A and B are shown apart, each in its own frame.
Chain A
Amino acid sequence: MPKLDKRAADILLWTLLLTAPFWMTHVGSYVELGSRVLVYALAAMSLNFLLGYTGVLSFGHAAYFGLGAYGTALTIKYLYPSTPVGMLVGILVGTVAAAVIGPMIARLRGIYFAMCTIAFGQVFYFIAFQWSSVTGGDDGVSAWHRMPLNLGFTTIDILQSSMAFYYFVLAVFAACAAAMAFLLRSPFGRTLLAIRENERRARFLGIPVDRHIWMSWVISSFFVSVAGTLYALLNNFVDPRAVRWDQSGMFVIMAVLGGMRSFWGPLIGAAIFIVLEDYLSSLTQNWESFIGLFFVLIVLFFPRGVLGIIRRKVTT
């Protein structure tokens, strides 16, 4: 029975995602918002790979998100005007940076780990902000745009058609989600779960814990930089706010809001958050207060997240 439920939920989810551009406009929304939800969902799911499935809290994922975004933007603007090439560069830059920083923090745990990820994340914010001859400083990288996809036999115009771009984002999202699900089901993923549940026992079993945390960190950062490249393509623009620590906080709150012990939780959290943000920021100037209040209320009254609560209801 629960297995069937799960299958049904999956089918429902993918049907909703695949048909989104057709029904979104009817409920007073627009297609770009759907792409935005997917981008943030991918970022929050990547974070959750680390937070929910390895049990390590990163509060600095915006750095690798931002590196992906800047890598893509700068490549398309200055080096080679091609969407896939830009994406590759962005993903490479973000992942390599995470791989280099990883060994320094993989030994740390808990609150110390979180603090160091914040601080290291901020390095990239400063670079983006101050190296203005390359990154444009506070003004960001503008005056470029994503390029139509050239598949050899045909081109897909993801630039002009927001519908085509949505499906492009969805395809990337699906590939990343499948890869993450595959990794989590593999022996490697099970090892991460073991570390989350009881690190000491995992260590006694001979599992090299620090190395696994490092690997999980790099994988997670890889996927978050994919999300970053999509973010740059979506906006045709990047500025240092994509890298700042409040962005990292958004990813974490999305994962928590949706339910960080479930695979699809962050997607639900991102959907709620982005739609709410879109709605409220058109309504009020004090959007920051609402975010703040939102954070406080979630922590006090809703710490399990949507899926956590549903699951609890089902099991009891």
Chain B
Amino acid sequence: MTQLVLFNVFNGLIIGAFYALMALGLSLILNLTGVINFAHGGFLAIGGYLAYTLMPYFGFWGALVLAPILTGFIGILVERVLIRRLYGRDPLYSLLLTFGLAFLIEDGTRFIWGAQSLPFSIPDWLSSPLSSEFFFLTGYRVFMVLLVTLAVAGLFAILNYTRLGIRIRAGTLDLETVSVLGVNVRVLRNLNFGLGIYLAGLAGVLAVGMLGLQPTVGDNLIMPSFIAIIVGGLGSLPGTLLGGLLIGVASGVTSVFFPSASEAVIYVMMAAVLIVRPRGLLGEEGRF
């Protein structure tokens, strides 16, 4: 029984780390520009597919490094061409445009890579269990948790210690003042979008190692990411991280006792947060 609970807590932690990785990207973009990126799941799929294509040439590690970066560049391009036009307009339009973009990306990946699910092989030494007692601790899962931790730590390091990161944080509080102080806001928002999409791409590479590769791979992850943001509090990145981990663990634990409710529990958590604390766990009062 303990083993079962441990297994599911660990599982939940992995799923939560995933949600968090995706939600952090969404949150970055949302905080600075007020755009909800519906197409985030699509970018996740792009990351996975790029890794699949790159793997024969660069190996697993090369794909792991390159695919998210390429995805980030695609994000930067998309921002230049499309997203940029939405700033300052009613949120309605950003929702609709990224919604359309999600359709386009899904159909595009289907067109390029085909609709059937593709195999994505991870190195052998990563897929074997570490010990027979804790059979669920495959190398890949531990590796994933480590990598997500690294990525999140890296993100917070960038936000806290680099010029770009400090500007992004300042911009989320008061973009106008940042602009007045001489920062090129267009470039800032552009890079910020790329950073968010990079995280989606990274989540994509990791996700396909577990879930396999289909054009719709991002669809099941986008809603929980929304909920991670709502539970954690809009406008707060640590909140988003916390929210993602919380809902992941909650659905993992629930699946021990009521397997069929594991998906429902995250919505219940969202409802509870909205009733008790509408701004979210770590959200600021009155920001949204």
A interface with B by C-beta (< 8 Å): 51, 57, 59, 104-105, 107-112, 114-116, 118-120, 122-123, 126-127, 130, 246, 249, 252-253, 256, 286, 288-289, 291-296, 298-300, 303
Q: What CA separation (Å) do A123 and B226 show in the bound complex?
A: 13
Q: Which residues of B contact A256 (CB under 8 A)?
A: 92, 96
B99 interfacial by beta-carbon distance below 8 Å: yes
Residues of B in contact (CB 8 Å), total: 41
Q: What CA separation (Å) do A118 and B227 show in the bound complex?
A: 10
Choice from B89, B100, B263, B274 contacting A104 with Cβ under 8 Å: B274
Determine whether the beta carbon of A130 is less than 8 Å from that of B263: yes
Given contacts A118-B226, A119-B226, contact A292 B100 (CB under 8 A): yes
Q: What CA separation (Å) do A63 and B85 show in the bound complex?
A: 30
Determine whether the beta carbon of B93 is less than 8 Å from that of A303: yes
> Which of B7-15, B101-109, B170-178 lines the interface with chain A?
B101-109
Choice from A111, A116, A119, A295 contacting B99 with Cβ under 8 Å: A295
Choice from B36, B86, B227 contacting A114 with Cβ under 8 Å: B36
Q: What CA separation (Å) do A41 and B19 show in the bound complex?
A: 36
B221 interfacial by beta-carbon distance below 8 Å: no
Determine whether the beta carbon of B103 is less than 8 Å from that of A291: yes
Closest B residue to A299 by CB, please name it: B97
Q: Which residues of B contact A123 (CB under 8 A)?
A: 264, 267
Determine whether the beta carbon of B234 is less than 8 Å from that of A112: yes
Q: Which residues of B contact A59 (CB under 8 A)?
A: 95
Choice from B82, B223, B288 contacting A112 with Cβ under 8 Å: B288
16 contacts between A and B (CB under 8 A): A57-B95, A59-B95, A104-B275, A110-B91, A114-B91, A114-B92, A115-B36, A119-B270, A130-B260, A246-B103, A252-B96, A256-B92, A288-B103, A288-B107, A292-B103, A299-B97
Q: Which residues of A contact B288 (CB under 8 A)?
A: 108-112
Q: What CA separation (Å) do A109 and B275 show in the bound complex?
A: 15
Q: What CA separation (Å) do A249 and B105 show in the bound complex?
A: 16
Choice from B34, B267, B274, B275 contacting A111 with Cβ under 8 Å: B34
Closest A residue to B111 by CB, please name it: A286
CB under 8 Å from chain A, chain B span 199-234? 223, 226-227, 229-230, 234
Given contacts A111-B34, A116-B230, A300-B85, contact A126 B263 (CB under 8 A): yes
Q: Which residues of A contact B129 (CB under 8 A)?
A: none
Indicate the member of A57, A105, A119 with the most B CB atoms within 10 Å: A119
Q: Which residues of B contact A300 (CB under 8 A)?
A: 82, 85, 97
Q: Which residues of A contact B264 (CB under 8 A)?
A: 123, 126-127
Majority secondary structure of chain A interface residues (helix, strand, loop or mixed): helix
Q: What CA separation (Å) do A111 and B86 show in the bound complex?
A: 14
Determine whether the beta carbon of B260 is less than 8 Å from that of A293: no
B139 interfacial by beta-carbon distance below 8 Å: no
Q: How far is the CB of B175 from chain A (nearest CB, A)?
A: 15
Determine whether the beta carbon of A294 is less than 8 Å from that of B95: no
Choice from A118, A122, A130, A299 contacting B96 with Cβ under 8 Å: A299
Majority secondary structure of chain B interface residues (helix, strand, loop or mixed): helix
Determine whether the beta carbon of B267 is less than 8 Å from that of A299: no
Q: What CA separation (Å) do A299 and B89 show in the bound complex?
A: 10
B6 interfacial by beta-carbon distance below 8 Å: no
Q: How far is the CB of B240 from chain A (nearest CB, A)?
A: 13
Closest A residue to B89 by CB, please name it: A303
Q: Which residues of B contact A295 (CB under 8 A)?
A: 96-97, 99-101, 103
CB under 8 Å from chain A, chain B span 109-137? 111
Closest B residue to A248 by CB, please name it: B99
Q: How far is the CB of A71 from chain B (nearest CB, A)?
A: 20
Q: Which residues of A contact B271 (CB under 8 A)?
A: 104, 120
B238 interfacial by beta-carbon distance below 8 Å: no
Determine whether the beta carbon of B107 is less than 8 Å from that of A292: yes
Closest 3 interchain pairs by CB?
Answer: A295-B100, A292-B103, A292-B104
Closest B residue to A244 by CB, please name it: B219
Q: Which residues of B contact A122 (CB under 8 A)?
A: 223, 267
Given contacts A111-B91, A126-B264, contact A105 B103 (CB under 8 A): no
Q: How far is the CB of B255 from chain A (nearest CB, A)?
A: 13
Q: Which residues of A contact B223 (CB under 8 A)?
A: 118-119, 122
Q: What CA separation (Å) do A115 and B279 show in the bound complex?
A: 13
Q: How far is the CB of A111 from chain B (nearest CB, A)?
A: 4
Q: Which residues of B contact A299 (CB under 8 A)?
A: 86, 93, 96-97, 100
B30 interfacial by beta-carbon distance below 8 Å: yes
Closest A residue to B278 by CB, please name it: A107
Q: How far is the CB of B193 from chain A (nearest CB, A)?
A: 16
Determine whether the beta carbon of B100 is less than 8 Å from that of A291: yes
